[in-house]
């Protein structure tokens, strides 16, 4: 059953509870940061950081995983238009192979936050840990459903990565990246075994598939 506008406003206000708590402590510029693409076998990991204005209402905004691709695309432009500031950054598969996916994710998140204009006063991070954050911060497990700023960041990160994968799919049509977004589906694994990995595959992710031979 479709929510009324009033119900949607209440839902979004509930998602701003963490932001209200921090504003009561004196923090005005509160950023949310989230990532997209930790699990795929190919391509970069993306992160976005977003500062929305207090009381911002963006109908339909939610954890990007709960939204259709069409809805995410619609929300992307609205978030960018309404945000006080936003930043989207990525760390490519070569660096992921060098420093591992966890550290690459931290790097993407920290870079996105550091390049925010204006600078945040506090950062809400999706997940249970973050390293090297230069601003006061707090991690929130499932934060993309509990913070409006993290939800906005999750949409920007997800859409940005999906757009990249669709574009690169034209260069490597044999893998059909546009369909599975680089995740380890049966179709993708079979393509890797048939054609071997391409330059955007994360080599450290493929050892079980290739038998350790890359």
Domain positions in the chain are 5-168
3-state secondary structure string, 150-178? HHHHHHHHHHHHHHHHHHHHCCCHHHCHH
β pairing state of 30-36 and 122-126: parallel
Distances (CA, A) of 71 to 30, 128, 142: 25, 27, 20
pLDDT value of residue 3:
73
pLDDT value of residue 210:
75
pLDDT value of residue 212:
56
Task: Please answer whether residues 92 and 45 qualify as being in contact, where contact means their C-beta atoms are separated by less than 8 angstroms.
Answer: no
Residue 148's H or E segment, with its range, is helix 148-169
pLDDT in tens, the chain (214 residues): 567 999 999 999 999 999 999 999 999 999 999 999 999 999 999 999 999 999 999 999 999 999 999 999 999 999 999 999 999 999 999 999 999 999 999 999 999 999 999 999 999 999 999 999 999 999 999 999 999 999 999 999 999 999 999 999 999 999 999 999 999 999 999 999 999 999 999 999 998 887 654 5
Q: For residues 180 and 177, give the distance between their C-alpha atoms in angstroms, rounded to a whole number.
A: 5
**DSSP-assigned letters across all residues of 21-39:** HHHHTT--SEEEEEEE-SS
* Topology given in CATH for the domain delimited by 5-168: Nucleotidyltransferase; domain 5 (3.30.420)
Distances (CA, A) of 130 to 17, 33, 66, 107, 204: 21, 11, 24, 10, 22
Q: For residues 12 and 16, give the distance between their C-alpha atoms in angstroms, rounded to a whole number.
A: 7
Whole-model pTM? Answer: 0.94
Residue 192 CB neighbours (<10 A): 19
pLDDT value of residue 207:
87
Q: What is the DSSP letter of 185?
A: -
């Amino acid at each position: 059953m479709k929510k009324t506008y009033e119900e949607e406003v209440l839902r979004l206000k509930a998602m701003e509870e963490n932001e209200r708590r921090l504003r009561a402590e004196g923090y005005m510029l509160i950023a949310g940061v989230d990532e997209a693409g930790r699990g795929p076998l190919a391509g970069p990991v993306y992160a976005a950081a977003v500062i929305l204005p207090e009381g911002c209402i963006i109908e339909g905004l939610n954890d990007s995983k709960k939204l259709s691709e069409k809805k995410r695309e619609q929300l992307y432009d609205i978030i960018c238009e309404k945000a006080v500031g936003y930043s989207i950054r990525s760390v490519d598969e070569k660096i992921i192979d060098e420093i591992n996916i966890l550290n690459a994710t931290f790097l993407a998140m920290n870079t996105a936050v550091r390049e925010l204009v204006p600078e945040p006063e506090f950062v809400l991070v999706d997940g249970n840990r973050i390293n090297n954050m230069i601003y006061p911060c707090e991690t929130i497990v499932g934060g993309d459903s509990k913070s409006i700023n993290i939800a906005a960041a999750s949409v920007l990160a997800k859409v940005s990565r999906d757009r990249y994968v669709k574009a690169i799919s034209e260069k490597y049509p044999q893998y059909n990246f546009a369909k599975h977004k680089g995740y380890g589906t049966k179709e993708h694994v079979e393509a890797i075994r048939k054609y071997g990995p391409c330059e955007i595959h994360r080599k450290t992710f493929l050892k079980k598939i290739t038998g350790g031979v890359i």
